[in-house]
Amino acid sequence: MIVRLTPYVAGVLMCVLCVRLGFWQVHRAEYKAERQAHLDAAGAPLPAKSAATLEEWQRVALSGTWIAPQTVFLDNRVREKQTGYHVLTPLRLDGGGGVVIVNRGWVAAGLLRSNLPVITTPAGHVTLNGLMLKPDLTGFRLDDGKEAGAVWQRADPAHFATRLGEKVSSLILFQESDGHDALLRDWPRPDLGVGKHKAYALQWFVFAVTAAGLTGFFGWRQWRRSPRKKA
């Protein structure tokens, strides 16, 4: 009897699990939708004085001085089918607020990869606006992950911290204000992936319906085949 019931118990448990996972994805989609609406409705950037208080998806205004000698070029950044770089420069915040890496924008690569573009970096005190985001550290690497020189494959704040010997924010500011440096900053609209969570939710609900249907079908077929006692 237990052996006969085991497949049906497993089917019911699978159905319940898929339903729970589906609703979890629905809640994630609702949460991301709220964050997306808040981001889209964001007004003027809020002044931030400490790197430690910065949060992802926060639009802020930072003031400080560029650490121009530590500028690096993020390789293989394509814009309109043209290869180029994203220019990353550390910004030391005023008042000992720490260091934030700024993605200043895109610049085209030259004909010779050995000749890096010449970037104008304003001296003295600067104030700039932008959006705080986590750096993308995913992807296949052929090297050992240790960046060297002026051309990097990934924007890893930890590598900047090692080079500077200072604490560096784990988030990167994508600059939106004009930097008078001829860099292009037409960043794509941030997408928190609401549609992805909705698709996952639908997928789990389909699995739940499938599990329930198969369990019910085989249970019904087993019931039809089982001998019945005559009244």
Task: Give pLDDT tens digits for 125-177.
Answer: 999 999 998 888 765 454 555 566 899 988 899 999 999 999 999 999 999 99
Same domain membership, residue 206 and residue 118: no
Residue 146 has a pLDDT of 56
In a domain, 104, yes or no: yes
Q: φ and ψ at 86, to 5 degrees? A: -95, 135
Residue 207 has a pLDDT of 87
Query: Residue length, the chain?
Result: 231
- Estimate the crossing angle of helix 2-40 against helix 194-225, to 10 degrees: 160
In a domain, 187, yes or no: no
Same domain membership, residue 121 and residue 212: no
Nearest to residue 74, comparing CAs of 101, 42, 39?
101
Report yes or no: 102 and 130 within 8 Å, Cβ to Cβ. yes
Same domain membership, residue 220 and residue 118: no
Same domain membership, residue 86 and residue 167: yes
The CA distance from 165 to 67, in Å, is 13
The CA distance from 91 to 68, in Å, is 9
Same domain membership, residue 161 and residue 83: yes
Q: Output 205 or 39, whichever has higher pLDDT.
A: 205
* 231 has pLDDT over 70: no
Residue 41 in 3-state DSSP? coil
* 63 has pLDDT over 50: yes
The CA distance from 219 to 224, in Å, is 9
Residue 2 has a pLDDT of 47
Question: What is the domain extent for residue 103?
Answer: 58-175
Same domain membership, residue 139 and residue 31: no
- Give the Cβ contact number of residue 98 at 10 Å: 19
Same domain membership, residue 151 and residue 63: yes
Q: What burial class does residue 183 get, using C-beta atoms within 10 Å of its C-beta: 0-12 exposed, 13-18 middle, 19+ buried? A: buried
In a domain, 44, yes or no: no
pTM metric for this prediction: 0.68
In a domain, 76, yes or no: yes
Q: Output 30 or 64, whichever has higher pLDDT.
A: 64
Same domain membership, residue 110 and residue 150: yes
Question: Where is average pLDDT lowest: 138-142, 193-197, 216-220?
Answer: 138-142
In a domain, 137, yes or no: yes
Q: Using the Cα atoms of residue 136, residue 138, residue 141 and residue 143 in order, give the sign of their dihedral.
A: positive
In a domain, 186, yes or no: no
Report yes or no: 124 and 65 within 8 Å, Cβ to Cβ. yes
Q: What angle do CA 196, 78, 64 make, to 5 degrees?
A: 90
Residue 183 has a pLDDT of 92
Residue 100 is encoded by which pair of tokens? 């934030």
